[in-house]
Structure 1
């Protein structure tokens, strides 16, 4: 099969239509705006290439001006899609760029008109492509192999169109846009078909990476509070536990809501859910850098701290306890106060396991409940704590306490 202009355009139409259909199907499944813009971009290329075929029939206004205008719109849609993918806000100038093509209608039909059209068209395709590639640079982490490939494909595609603009700047160069002849047209058609294939494949990989990351996040998060769930905590905790040392002790805080059942019974489970979300937001607000927080289940939460101390635990626990008491009292009327009981365990060497550490926190939590609730109990398992207690590590002895209000 000869790679003449009509054949290349037909191939481009088929490739772009297939890419548009695939990305549209993906968009229906995940509803990401970037997919919709990319799908529309490929559909626009397919339509523009169809119009370009009419150039051979003498319909120059449609085959040249409209076809190239749609090519510009398609690359603008690619840019907007990348901006959506990277959560970047584009300046207003980028939204006005496609309108620049309309200015060519005001040019007189002189000999320089084809050169101006080639120059403007090349720049209006190159600049959005290069800008889109620049937006895909990693920010503190990889966007995935597909996004990295898409970045370089768009940059290469943009640079090609910059180079394509050079002949329009060379004096004496004859450019005939009314025919499918010439090296510029032939090379552009081949590059365009290759670029469509590479961009479509890269976008596919980008979408797949984003979907896998979303599934991974959903699997690691509690659906109600969006804090880590127990499985995610067990995966992330070992690294934090291994950092414990006498110079930088670690700590676990086990948090339970007192009289939570009263809220569910008197105000409904939706009210109980709102209270859980309120507590999770308070935990996020007080969580230090490098700490972990998770919902273990029901109304039980856990916080893992690094570089902790009895004073830091008491301050963090009191802030949570007081804030939650005030919020619950304002939101729900109950016969008994809805408060927090906190059991904490301080350690200066890596514990045997997360489970063992949670069991220590659970014992401290039990003492907090038994002591009247709305309080903090600390088990100090550090060498300094054991020495101050004469080798006794029992709950509450020598512990930091904050009694109920």
Structure 2
């Protein structure tokens, strides 16, 4: 197959249409708006490529000016999709590119017309595409593989158009938009075919990775309280436990609601759910940086702290008990006061698993229940270490 301009345009139109349909199919399962914007961009490219075929029949306005304008609009949709994906807001100044393209209608016809048209089109696409690539930069983390690939493709695509715009000023460079003659045009068509394929693949991978992350987050969250669930706690806790040392001990708090059954029996299970959400909000608000909080199930919650002292743990437990008791009294009337019992264990060893410290805290929790509820029992560090750290 000869890769002449006509063949490349037909190939580009076919691939762009296929990419548009593929991204719509992805949107049907992912439901991300950026996929629709990217799909619309490819659909516009497909239409623009078909219209570009008309220039050889003498339809210059539709085949050259309008089709190239559609290519700029398509890249604008790519930028809008990236902005949607990154939750970025684009200034309205980007609409000025449309005015620039409208001004091209008034360019005087002459030997430099094709070069001027191609240069302005290339600069417009380069600015849009490079901006889209720069929006995909890490914010306090790393890009997903799909997003990193999309960023690379967009930046490479933008740099190509920037170089293409610069090549127009090369002496003796032959450019004729009407007859598709000139090395710059042929190379651009070849690059366009490759870019369509790579952009579609990386756009799909970008959103698919986000969908997988969302599914993982949902699987790790308790649906009622939005805290970590038991599974997430066991996955995340080892990294925190490994940081425990005699110089920086950690703590595990096991929290249980006293007389919770009364709330369910007297006011219904919806009331019990409201009470659980209230406690989870209090925990979330009191949680220091780097700590973990999870709902184990029922009315039982866990907090994992790092770099704390016994006094800090006592203060946190007292704050939670007092704040929760006050809110519970205001929400529901019960024969017995609804309060919190807490069992806590300090730890300074990194070689023991979460289950060991949960057992320690569980024994302390039952001790607080036996001693009348609405209190916290703390299992301290070894006596000699507690004395050295001033925790005894």
Counterparts of 1:340 and 1:380, CA distance in 2: 20
1:394 alignment counterpart: none
| Cα deviations by residue, 1:141-189 (Å, 9 ceiling, x for unpaired) | 2222222121111111101111111244457755322222221211111
1:80 alignment counterpart: 80
Q: Is the 8 A contact 1:249 1:346 kept in 2?
A: yes
After TM superposition, the structure 1 = structure 2 runs for residues 198-347 of structure 1, keeping only pairs within 5 Å, are 198-347=198-347
| Cα deviations by residue, 1:204-256 (Å, 9 ceiling, x for unpaired) | 22222222222222222222222211112112212222322222111100111
CA separation of 1:246 and 1:26: change in aligned 2, threshold 3 A = same
Q: Is the 8 A contact 2:150 2:203 kept in 1?
A: yes
After TM superposition, the structure 1 = structure 2 runs for residues 146-185 of structure 1, keeping only pairs within 5 Å, are 146-169=146-169, 175-185=175-185
Q: Is the 8 A contact 2:325 2:339 kept in 1?
A: yes
1:32 alignment counterpart: 32
CA separation of 1:3 and 1:386: change in aligned 2, threshold 3 A = closer
Counterparts of 2:94 and 2:222, CA distance in 1: 39
TM-score (normalizing by structure 2): 0.92
1:49 alignment counterpart: 49
CA separation of 1:263 and 1:26: change in aligned 2, threshold 3 A = farther
- Say what the alpha-carbon RMSD is for the aligned residues: 2.3
Q: Is the 8 A contact 1:251 1:306 kept in 2?
A: yes
Counterparts of 1:386 and 1:80, CA distance in 2: 58
CA separation of 1:270 and 1:127: change in aligned 2, threshold 3 A = farther
Counterparts of 1:282 and 1:140, CA distance in 2: 27
Aligned length: 390
Per the TM alignment, residue 24 of structure 1 is displaced from its structure 2 partner at its CA by 1.0
Structure 1: runs of 5 or more not aligned: 389-398, 401-405
Q: Is the 8 A contact 2:292 2:305 kept in 1?
A: yes
1:135 alignment counterpart: 135
CA separation of 1:262 and 1:351: change in aligned 2, threshold 3 A = farther
Q: Which moved more, 1:155-164 or 1:50-59?
A: 50-59
- Report SS of the residue matched to 2:377: strand
CA separation of 1:11 and 1:174: change in aligned 2, threshold 3 A = closer
Counterparts of 1:102 and 1:194, CA distance in 2: 29
Per the TM alignment, residue 11 of structure 1 is displaced from its structure 2 partner at its CA by 0.8
Q: Which moved more, 1:262-271 or 1:39-48?
A: 262-271
Counterparts of 1:386 and 1:112, CA distance in 2: 84
Counterparts of 2:288 and 2:6, CA distance in 1: 63
CA separation of 1:351 and 1:276: change in aligned 2, threshold 3 A = farther
Query: Are residues 1:62 and 2:90 paired?
Result: no
Q: Which moved more, 1:207-216 or 1:39-48?
A: 207-216
CA separation of 1:235 and 1:13: change in aligned 2, threshold 3 A = same
Counterparts of 1:189 and 1:280, CA distance in 2: 58
Counterparts of 2:218 and 2:287, CA distance in 1: 21
Structure 2: runs of 5 or more not aligned: none
1:193 alignment counterpart: 193
1:10 alignment counterpart: 10
Q: Is the 8 A contact 1:256 1:299 kept in 2?
A: yes
Counterparts of 1:53 and 1:266, CA distance in 2: 76
Counterparts of 1:214 and 1:95, CA distance in 2: 33
Q: Is the 8 A contact 2:26 2:204 kept in 1?
A: no
Q: Which moved more, 1:67-76 or 1:329-338?
A: 329-338
Q: Is the 8 A contact 1:290 1:306 kept in 2?
A: yes
Q: Is the 8 A contact 2:51 2:63 kept in 1?
A: yes
Q: Is the 8 A contact 1:5 1:180 kept in 2?
A: yes
Q: Is the 8 A contact 1:250 1:305 kept in 2?
A: yes
| Cα deviations by residue, 1:282-327 (Å, 9 ceiling, x for unpaired) | 2222212221111111111101111121110011112222222233
Per the TM alignment, residue 328 of structure 1 is displaced from its structure 2 partner at its CA by 2.8
